[in-house]
Chains A and B, each alone.
Chain A
Amino acid sequence: MLARMTRQQVLDLYFMDARCKLIELAAFLDRVDRGTGDADFRLTAFREAMKHLADGEPKRAEAVLLSLSDPTIEPIAKAPGKGAVGAWPGRA
């Protein structure tokens, strides 16, 4: 593993971008709350994945991706369509 940048350099390069995305994330959750009707499994999956941001463990990006992934191992009988939605409904 290479550490090409100091923490200060990382902050200088990425803080404003990450700040922007953090506010976007907060605004998204506010928007969902203001919405009416029921949310589907994606919101549950999203909230579960968010826990990895604050758990202090390394490899947070990998943990978030794993949290949103289908963990089963057998092929499914038939493709239900072509698209993917970003979260696995089986955890909800």
Chain B
Amino acid sequence: MRYIEPHGHMVSRTTDDYQDMVTAGCAAVCEPAFWAGFDRSSVHGFRDYFRQLTEYEPARAAKYGLPHYCWLCINPKESEDVALATDVIGIIPEFLKCPTVLGIGEIGLNKNSRNEMKVLEMHVDLAARHDQLILVHTPHLEDKLKGTKLILDVLKADSRIRPERVLIDHVEEHTVRIVLDRGHWAGMTLYPISKCTPARAVDILDQHGSERLWMNSACDWGESVPLAIPRTALEMRRRGWTAEAIDRVVYQNPVRFLSQNPRFKLTL
């Protein structure tokens, strides 16, 4: 089989994971900017991180024949500090010309605070001014429903944003419909404890169709499984999905969305 990993925080993973992913059929990996597990103290830390995402990590992935792309932003977990966020958003245009940058992400909300909303609006404005794709993180657990609704309203309020160029990630049963009904793409994250299990993800596909949905492992430094997509493909197979229908979800759909940025090219 072949698949795209559209959301993996590979800076947190070992080269063994790259080997396993490629062995399992991964044809490209896309890495959104995220929280390091601690707050960075200045914009300089972000400049180094963006260099890691645009220079070092693509080279590391290339050793295994795997194209590596990235998204840039200051993650919602660090958005309470609006002054820092303003500084970080100010340096992002320097990196938008890099050949592996796909857009702005993963932006969004974490605890649904006013400052997080301000920074989200700044990111959306940045994406609109530079005609970038957007990848959105929705909050965790009890905060997801409210945060998803707030994010959708921010996107709707900016007339420059075309819904089909925005993917809203980490949807679950209670948020997937409202995202799809706004014309956006939706991502299901396959986690062992929170977000979606493989069985629930396939339930969502069965109930809502696979037109604008993708799946990702969002593997990072927490409990996560880099091979979650191929394992979910196995779940689909056990439930009677054809090889073509599985391919549409795990490969063709991410290619359709990501190819809206002409930089996204597959070598396999």
Cα(A6)–Cα(B214), bound, Å: 25
Cα(A19)–Cα(B77), bound, Å: 37
Interface residues of A in 37-88 (CB under 8 A from B): 59, 61-62, 65-66, 68-73, 75-88
B206: which A residues are within 8 A, CB to CB? 1-4
Say whether A13 faces chain B, with CB atoms less than 8 Å apart.
Answer: yes
* Residues B146 and A68 in contact, CB atoms below 8 Å apart: no
B112: which A residues are within 8 A, CB to CB? 70, 75-76
Interface readout for B16-37 with A: 1 if CB under 8 Å, 0 if not? 0000000000000000000100
* Residues A68 and B141 in contact, CB atoms below 8 Å apart: yes
Cα(A80)–Cα(B145), bound, Å: 18
Residue of A nearest to B148 (CB): A69
We find that the number of chain B residues with CB closer than 8 angstroms to chain A is 33
* Residues B239 and A13 in contact, CB atoms below 8 Å apart: yes
* Residues B149 and A65 in contact, CB atoms below 8 Å apart: no
Q: Specify which of A66, A75, A77, A85 is in contact with B174 (CB 8 Å cutoff).
A: A66
Say whether B143 faces chain A, with CB atoms less than 8 Å apart.
Answer: yes
Residue of A nearest to B118 (CB): A75
Query: Given A2-B206, A4-B240, A84-B141, A69 and B146 touching (CB < 8 A)?
Result: yes
Say whether B163 faces chain A, with CB atoms less than 8 Å apart.
Answer: no
Q: Specify which of A14, A77, A81, A85 is in contact with B142 (CB 8 Å cutoff).
A: A85
Least CB distance, A2 to chain B, in whole angstroms: 5
Residue of A nearest to B238 (CB): A13
Cα(A84)–Cα(B111), bound, Å: 8
* Residues A75 and B203 in contact, CB atoms below 8 Å apart: no
Query: Given A61-B203, A75-B112, A79-B115, A86 and B141 touching (CB < 8 A)?
Result: yes
Residue of A nearest to B177 (CB): A62
* Residues B110 and A82 in contact, CB atoms below 8 Å apart: yes
* Residues A66 and B145 in contact, CB atoms below 8 Å apart: yes
Least CB distance, B223 to chain A, in whole angstroms: 14
Residue of A nearest to B175 (CB): A65
Query: Given A13-B238, A66-B174, A82-B110, A73 and B142 touching (CB < 8 A)?
Result: no
A66: which B residues are within 8 A, CB to CB? 145, 174
* Residues A61 and B200 in contact, CB atoms below 8 Å apart: yes
Least CB distance, A4 to chain B, in whole angstroms: 4
* Residues B114 and A75 in contact, CB atoms below 8 Å apart: yes
* Residues B116 and A75 in contact, CB atoms below 8 Å apart: yes
* Residues B173 and A65 in contact, CB atoms below 8 Å apart: yes
* Residues A1 and B172 in contact, CB atoms below 8 Å apart: no
Say whether B11 faces chain A, with CB atoms less than 8 Å apart.
Answer: no
Query: Given A59-B173, A65-B174, A1 and B142 touching (CB < 8 A)?
Result: no
Q: Specify which of B115, B141, B149 is in contact with A85 (CB 8 Å cutoff).
A: B141
B241: which A residues are within 8 A, CB to CB? 4
* Residues A70 and B240 in contact, CB atoms below 8 Å apart: no
Say whether A5 faces chain B, with CB atoms less than 8 Å apart.
Answer: yes
A82: which B residues are within 8 A, CB to CB? 35, 77, 110-111
